[in-house]
Every structure is written in C-alpha cells, then in structure tokens.
Amino acid sequence: MMHAHAETPFAPEEPQPLLREIAPGAAYPVAALGPLKQAVEAVQGMTLAPAAIPAASALAVASLAVQGFADVETLGGNRPLSLYVLTIAQSGERKSSCDAPLMAALRTHEKEQSQAQRDEMESWRNAHALWKGDRDRILGETKKPDKTKKPDKRTAARADLEALGPEPQSPPSADRTVTEPTFEGLTRLFATGQPSLGIFSDEGGQFLGGFAMSSDNRQKTLAALNDLWQGNPIRRTRQGEGSFVLYGRRHAMHLMVQPVVARAFMADPTAGDTGFLPRCLTCEPPSTIGTRMHALTRRDATGLAAFSGRLRDVLETPMPMDPDTRELLPRTLTLSAGARALLVAFSDAIEAAQAPGGDLAYDTGYASKAAEQAARIAGVLTMWRDLHAPEVQPQDMADGITLAQFYLGEAARLADAATVSVEIDKAETLRKWLLESWPEPEVLVRDVQRLAPVRALRDRPSVKKAIGILVEAGWLVPLDVGAVVRGVARKEAYRIWGRA
C-alpha cells in the first residue's frame, strides 16, 4: 500500500550578500598628533564627532601654514611639507562643525589681509597710472615728425623707458585657500597671489563634481595636483597667453566628502592610475551619529585658543621668497640620526609587506608612498612646534610613522569598497534600511521613494534598479500582480526576505 508523503514546506534559499564585509577601521591614534593633539581633543569634545575628522582638519591646516618655510628630508630626497587629506563622512557627521573652529584663525587672517590689500591696491592704481602716463608720453615722442635731424629719437626713448623702470606690480591676492577652482584658476592665483595655497572644502563633492574634475579635465587636473604635491614647477602654455613657468609654489589640500561621492571618485581608474589617491591621507571613520548626547560634550577653550594663536603666528611670519618672482625659498628640514633610523626601519617593513603574498601585496600604490608620508607628517609636526627647528627628532618621526600607518591601513581597508559600483552601493543602502528600519513585511516602490534615508533613492529609476539588484540576490521576492498589501490590491509589490 502506497503512503502519501507530507509535502515539505518550501524554504527560500538564503540571499547572497551584495558586498564583502569590510572590517571596521582602527581607532584614530590621537596621541600621535603631538602638538596638535590638544586642539583635536577640544574640537572632538565639543562636537562628539569621530576624532579622525578634526584630526584631518588640524593636520591639513598645519600643513598649509608651514609648507612655505621648509622642505623635509626623506629617504628619496627633499620633499614639500604639503599634505593632501581626504576625509569621508556622511551628511550629519558634523564635518563643518569640526573644520570651522580649526580654520577660524586662517579665515580671520585672510579677511584682515584682504582689507590691507584693498588699501594697497589704491596706492598701486595711482602709481600705475603715473607710470603708464610717462610711458605713453615717451612713446608718443617717437611718433612726432622730426624736423631737427637730431640723433635717432628711438634710441633716446629706449633710454627713457629703461630709466622709467618696469611696470609696477599689483599687490598679491590675500587668499590662502580656494574651494573648487579649475586648475587654470589655481594657476592664475599662484601667479598673482600667495605662493602657498590650498584647496579646502567641507563640501568636497563640489570640487570632485565640478568642471576641473569633469571627464574632459580630470586627468589633466589630477596630473597637475600630483606635480604640486611633488613641488614641481607649474608650466603653463596657452594660445594667446604665451608661456610661463612658476617656481617655488606649494599646495595643500583637504576635501571632506560623503561616502557615495567618494566611492564614485575612488572607483575611477584615473584617480588611482595617475597616482593621485596614493598621495592622499584618506580615512572613513565609523559614525558617531545617535550617540552624541549633549551631556557628554566637553569644553576646552584653552586647547583651541592655543591652536588658533599658533596658526596666527605662523601665518603672520613672512615666508622666505624672492621679492620679484614670489618664488618660495624653503630651507631643508633634516632628519636627526634617530629619526632617520626609524624611517628606514619603517620603509623596509612596508617594502617587505608588498612582496607577493604579503599584507600589502595588493596596495602597492599606497604602500610605496607611506614612508614619504610619514616624513612629511613628522616635518609638519616639527615645524608647527617650532618654525626654526633644525631637524626632525625621533618622537615626531615616531608619531609621523604611526599616523602614516593608520592612513595606509585605511587605504587598504577602503580599497574594496571603492571598487563597488554606485548602483550596488545604493542597493546595499536600501537593503540595510529595509532590514533594520522598515517595519512591514512588504514594500512598495513608492515607499522607498518617499521614505528612503538617502536622496539617491528618491527617483523611480534609481529605486527600480536597486530593487532589481535585491531581487536578483534574493533579498526581495516579487509578489503576484494583484497581491493584497495593507488592504489594497497592488500592481507591484515585494516581500522582504525573512519576514512573515
């Protein structure tokens, strides 16, 4: 006699992960910030943001302030003290609140110098008008008919022009920072303004998404920024403008960007292949949103005031430069014997880790810059403490190495995330929101459009694409047309995996 077997309920296969789990980053080594530590702790205490955010601001501001005074000795020769910093943090992470107090003295200095420059411009206009009047008069004399048969008037005019002297130069721009320049604009500012500049923005997406970084201009801009990081001359050739070369310019950078923008930029092969990203100190600290209770805030006006005072002192110190060309003439900041020994040991350890099978075998672009980054950071810490310091001491080098190791670890950690497409990133954001925050077992397209936690999922094409990815991976199951969801027959609806 045949017996009917009980039907086994269908159990859907467990969904596939969209992303390989990325290990959380290490805690920021605040103690290694040396003379910047107290200010960073003060800002972090006020904002309760991740410590890496004010730390990045402090390092970048210090680099901008001191880069005109010295180049630091490295194992590959002298290098600028310029740092390029890329801080990744989502909206609401208090990036601006961390950056503003550390930039305040710089902003005040720029404002005061701008007023002084306006006064100097008035004097220059008068001097220039007199010079031009004399020059026009001299040239006019050569055009008058000569009835006296005296010696060549051109010879006399040439002597008069030489005696008149060169055209008075307008006073340089007071700006020390820009937010989203084209490289042509940055070059003009280097030609007519300060020889030490920086691109600083707490909305770095505006620069990364701007004209200078468009598909037609990105490679040119990144190559030019690489040259500035190296301290190479700026060479400019344009039809109608002629050619010129600017020597002795220095450039620092700090861009604060949101994760979606950063992922898209870091995934672009141009950013890595040109060597730009390995020149950046990049980090994405874990969020503190949801834990920043007012009762936990700490006030330390002393630490912030000391930082602002030091920044003002450095900015008001004249940079060594040629008075005519404004070419910087930085001295060499050498390494003490102890500092050099530490740097050699660090460099050798990093080199060994890049061998096949080593921890850094797939991150050689970043790893190859680590020792130089350590020397640059150590030089910044040294000069921030004392502009006249003759050499880098072992403690500052040890701190520079610790910070360089942290940023190298972050670069290696984020390398996988950077290769993720924008569409996968949106789908992963949607997946987490549905599993962690959405209360219903089913979801509609319009639910996502109205309530999704990011703007990138507010338009129907983006939502449909993200949902399609989640369906393919098994996280969402399409319901039949006409299925009743929340009391209404629906044309399109999806059940979330694991929900009853």
pLDDT tens profile 382-405: 999 999 999 999 999 999 999 999
Q: Which residues lie across from 357 on neighbouring strands?
A: none
Instruction: Please check whether residue 443 lies inside any domain of the structure.
Output: yes
Helices and strands of the chain, counted as H and E runs: 17, 16
Task: Judge if 97 and 185 occupy the same domain.
Answer: yes
Task: Judge if 350 and 464 occupy the same domain.
Answer: no
Is pLDDT of 155 > 90?
A: no
Q: What is the largest CA-CA distance in the chain?
A: 141
Instruction: Please check whether residue 280 lies inside any domain of the structure.
Output: yes
CATH of the domain at 295: 3.40.50
- Check the CA dihedral 96-102-106-109 and report its sign: positive
Residue ending a domain, among 373, 402, 418, is 418
**410 or 205: which leads in pLDDT:** 410
Q: How far apart are CA 374 and CA 231, in angstroms?
A: 17
Residue ending a domain, among 418, 449, 476, is 418
CATH of the domain at 428: 1.10.10
Report CA Rg, the chain: 30
Task: Judge if 476 and 382 occupy the same domain.
Answer: no
Per-residue H/E/C for 201-216: ECCCHHHHCCHHHCCC
C-alpha triplet 59, 65, 71: angle, nearest 5°:
90
- In terms of average pLDDT, the best of 1-15, 168-182, 206-220, 346-360 is 346-360
Comparing 140-154, 218-232, 275-289, 353-367, which segment has the lowest mean pLDDT?
A: 140-154
Instruction: Please check whether residue 373 lies inside any domain of the structure.
Output: yes
pLDDT of residue 151: 57
Burial tier of 13 (Cβ tally within 10 Å: 0-12, 13-18, 19+)? exposed
Cβ atoms of residues 71 and 78 within 8 Å: yes
Is pLDDT of 7 > 60?
A: no
Instruction: Please check whether residue 62 lies inside any domain of the structure.
Output: yes
**Percent of the chain topping pLDDT 70:** 89
pLDDT of residue 317: 96
Amino acid at 460: R
- Mean per-residue pLDDT for 87-105? 94
Instruction: Please check whether residue 476 lies inside any domain of the structure.
Output: yes
CA 189 to chain centre: 19
3-class secondary structure, 104: helix
Task: Judge if 348 and 488 occupy the same domain.
Answer: no
pLDDT of residue 271: 84
Residue range of the domain that includes 328: 30-113+172-418
Comparing 46-60, 236-250, 259-273, which segment has the lowest mean pLDDT?
A: 236-250
Is pLDDT of 1 > 70?
A: no
pTM higher than the cut 0.95: no
- Mean per-residue pLDDT for 130-135? 74
Is pLDDT of 493 > 50?
A: yes
| The two three-digit tokens of residue 197, written as one number | 């500049």
pLDDT of residue 9: 41
Four-point Cα dihedral 490, 492, 495, 500, nearest 10: 10
Task: Judge if 367 and 478 occupy the same domain.
Answer: no
Task: Judge if 76 and 209 occupy the same domain.
Answer: yes
Q: How far apart are CA 321 and CA 196, in angstroms?
A: 11
Work out how many domains the chain is built from and give that number.
2
pLDDT of residue 115: 78
pLDDT of residue 456: 81
Give the pLDDT band of residue 237 (cuts 50, 70, 90): low
Q: How far apart are CA 327 and CA 15, in angstroms?
A: 61
Q: Which of 368, 378, 392, 288 is nearest to 76 (CA)?
A: 368
| The two three-digit tokens of residue 10, written as one number | 């269908």
Task: Judge if 391 and 411 occupy the same domain.
Answer: yes
- Mean per-residue pLDDT for 115-126? 70
List pLDDT tens digits, range 405-444: 999 999 988 876 666 667 888 898 899 999 999 999 999 9
Task: Judge if 333 and 445 occupy the same domain.
Answer: no
Instruction: Please check whether residue 377 lies inside any domain of the structure.
Output: yes
Give all strands (DSSP E) within 196-300, no chain letters.
Answer: 196-201, 234-238, 242-246, 250-257, 280-283
| The two three-digit tokens of residue 350, written as one number | 């990093």
pLDDT of residue 136: 76
Q: β-strands 331-335, 70-74: how paired?
A: parallel
Task: Judge if 316 and 465 occupy the same domain.
Answer: no
Task: Judge if 311 and 216 occupy the same domain.
Answer: yes
Is pLDDT of 121 > 70?
A: no
| The two three-digit tokens of residue 414, written as one number | 């984020």
Residue ending a domain, among 396, 418, 440, is 418
- Mean per-residue pLDDT for 31-41? 97
Task: Judge if 210 and 325 occupy the same domain.
Answer: yes
Task: Judge if 333 and 448 occupy the same domain.
Answer: no
Q: How far apart are CA 376 and CA 404, in angstroms?
A: 9
| The two three-digit tokens of residue 346, written as one number | 């660090």
Instruction: Please check whether residue 332 lies inside any domain of the structure.
Output: yes
Instruction: Please check whether residue 82 lies inside any domain of the structure.
Output: yes
Q: How far apart are CA 151 and CA 454, in angstroms?
A: 81
pLDDT of residue 2: 41
